[in-house]
Amino acid sequence: MKIVHVEAGMHLYGGAQQVLYLTKGLRDRGGDNLLVCPPGSAIARAAAERGLAVRELPLRGDADLGFASRLRRLLRRERPDLVHLHSRRGADLLGGIAARLAGTPCVLSRRVDNPESAAWARIKYRLYDRVITISDGIRRVLLAEGVTPGRVVCVPSAVDAAPYAHACERDWFETEFGLPPGARVLGVIAQLIPRKGHRHLFAALPPLLERHPDLYVLCFGQGPLHDELDAAIAANGWRGRVRLTGFRADLARLLPCLYAVAHPAEMEGLGVSLLQTSAAGVPIVASRAGGIPEAVRDGVNGLLVPPADADALARALERLLADPAQAIELGRRGRELVRRDFSIDRMVEGNLRVYTAVLNERRP
């Protein structure tokens, strides 16, 4: 089976990492993959290092109508059995048009729960033989917009748990972030954008920082809210206690050193960082929004609170800070959950079933 995969992102964030997991898993099962991505992207470098075939095509977003023509020519030349579109930024609509013009069966992965107008959704999603959502939460959004139920299949994202299953390198961690010995660190792993809800965490922090002098907060990620959040840290007098650390590529090394992770997002497709956190045995306090409850099971590997509720968030975090034994138990269960429900093999097999169903339907 020959599959052309299209990933438009420039950075190796969660969605792009899933594409690497999938293409490697398909190759291990005898599949023939070609990855199409923008020139200079991080996934192009990572895929080439893993011996995966890569074709770089210019893609400048939703307005780059020429991308549809470039991809159509590639599909006609490569003659794949199917094309799998993995991201939105220009690749979903334009990629679907290119596949339709080339006569190639087409599958789209949808990783976000952003709503679209019902009229537009009913038109757009006819371009795809299947839409693969990474959570039931996203699937429900599409069904509510009128997309045909038989066209939408949920295949959850995956995480390679092995790199996270190790003890914390405490001396390195404290030196790397200038932490005092024995500091308990609350992590936030998310882009610095409004829907990730950093402002709700900041509203919850004052009583927690006052009651727990050993508590420190590290925000991993980058984005347009950096200056605004940095100003809030300064205005509250939190310099040294709350820090914006930027994007980190070494989460597998960092995560086991965290006491807990907070994820107060208002919208979220699933949250690969939450799966990584559980793989590291770290408990989570998160919003009951989008697909988050599928990754964070209340009372199993974390605690869930209503979205945009800073008081509830503060209470849940206080529960974990006041009860280290509970935090350890939630972390242990999280490791079990990830190995059972979010393995790479399970994700690859789920995608393969979708491909097979599509191709069977397309056969004369």
Distance CA 228, CA 326 (A): 34
Which residues are CB-neighbours of 7 under 8 A, at least 6 positions away? 15, 16, 19, 35, 36, 37, 41, 43, 86, 87, 91
Structure pTM?
0.86
Which one, of 294, 292, 299, lies nearest residue 341 by Cα?
Answer: 294
CATH superfamily of this structure's domain 162-341? Glycogen Phosphorylase B; (3.40.50.2000)
Structure tokens at 326: 């509970």
Same fold, 2-158+343-362 and 162-341: yes
CATH architecture, range 2-158+343-362: 3-Layer(aba) Sandwich (3.40)
Q: For the chain, what are the domain ranges?
A: 2-158+343-362, 162-341
Beta-bridged to residue 131, according to DSSP, are: 108, 152
pLDDT in tens, the chain (364 residues): 999 999 988 877 778 889 999 999 999 999 999 999 999 998 999 998 989 999 999 888 777 889 999 999 999 999 999 999 997 776 889 999 999 999 999 999 999 888 889 888 888 999 999 999 999 999 999 999 999 999 999 999 999 999 999 999 999 999 999 999 999 999 999 999 999 999 999 999 999 999 999 999 999 999 999 999 999 999 999 999 999 999 998 999 999 999 999 999 999 988 889 999 999 999 999 999 999 999 999 999 999 999 999 999 999 999 999 999 999 999 999 999 999 999 999 999 999 999 999 999 988 7
